[in-house]
Amino acid sequence: MSASERKSTEMTYREALNAAMVQEMERDDAVFLMGEEVAEYDGAYKVSRGMLARFGDRRVVDSPISELGFAGLCVGAAMTGLRPICEFMTFNFSILALDQVINSAAKMAYMTNGQINVPIVFRGPTGAALQLAAQHSQACETYYVHAPGVKLVTPATPADAKGLLAAAVRDDDPVAVMEGELLYNVKGEVPDDEYVIPLGVADLKRSGGDVSIVTHGKMVHVALQAAGKLAREGIEADVLDLRSVRPLDVQAILETAARTNRVVYVEEGWPFAGVGAQIVALVQEEAFDDLDAPVLRVTQADVPMPYAKNLEALAKPGADRVVAACKRALYAGEEA
């Protein structure tokens, strides 16, 4: 069924995530949700609203404030035949659980020669919101994608949130679903029926022939805003949403590079050894002859996130910085 033929409903990003979990828990009794405040409180961001009443306290389980502990419990459950959705109140807190994510979940299939799979989803918000300061504003993608064995998706729209989370639950490997905290209230059309987006497939959110803006997650909206500003000056930009950081849709990246001959990567994380560094290496190695300018990156400033509102705004990658980078790639004389 094509997208135009699907019946859809306008809903928020948080409602789309809820719809995906309900869809998968109704489809498969092995799926359950565990995390801090997911049950009695309906979720810290109300993503699990109504699920306790619908599925009961054996499948929607409040955990103690111990990320290492409940992540380990979920990993063990996945190893023995269940399909847990492990919610971190924020991926900043998941740093406490990285031993279970990296040393247990990610490596188990390899270490057992495929005899033990770990079909687990780690999900929750990542990146900065508004004045949450340094310890609660980190974009955590790089921590996860660096490890072989973990897949990672970063939905930017409500429809992508439903489709990618459903695919993550069905996958037999660990998948991190990193959501944008400031996206939970964003509205969009979401298919009503069973909806699954394959992992590793990018989406061209806007088409243009002058410069390619490649990005993922919350930065898709920043990129689209920048593309709109560029269009008013007669510059048309491709906006490629990776959707899946690992596995990576290499072909889609190379196709947009070949189409525009100029690439700017936008990410919320820090620049040093970030996701963008991987994209730059890929494009330079595989599409060098297509390039008419260096591949540029727009990232968070290389500092812990400031608390002060004015400094926070300066540290975040915004649309104006993306516009400047695109113009630099087009030799229009502005610095990123």
Exposed / middle / buried, residue 229 (Cβ in 10 Å: 0-12, 13-18, 19+): middle
* ∠ CA 247-249-255, rounded to 5°: 165
Catalytic residue from among 15, 24, 36, 67:
67
Q: Which two tokens stand for residue 60?
A: 């929607």
**Residue 141 annotated as catalytic:** no
Q: Which two tokens stand for residue 188?
A: 């969009």
- The total of other beta-carbon atoms located within 10 Å of residue 234's CB is 7
Spatial neighbors of 289 by CB under 8 A, at least 6 apart, are none
* Residue corresponding to tokens 């040393």: 103
DSSP type of residue 238: E
**Residue 67 annotated as catalytic:** yes
Spatial neighbors of 276 by CB under 8 A, at least 6 apart, are 265, 266, 267, 269, 297, 299
* ∠ CA 39-130-325, rounded to 5°: 125
Q: Catalytic site residues?
A: 67, 136
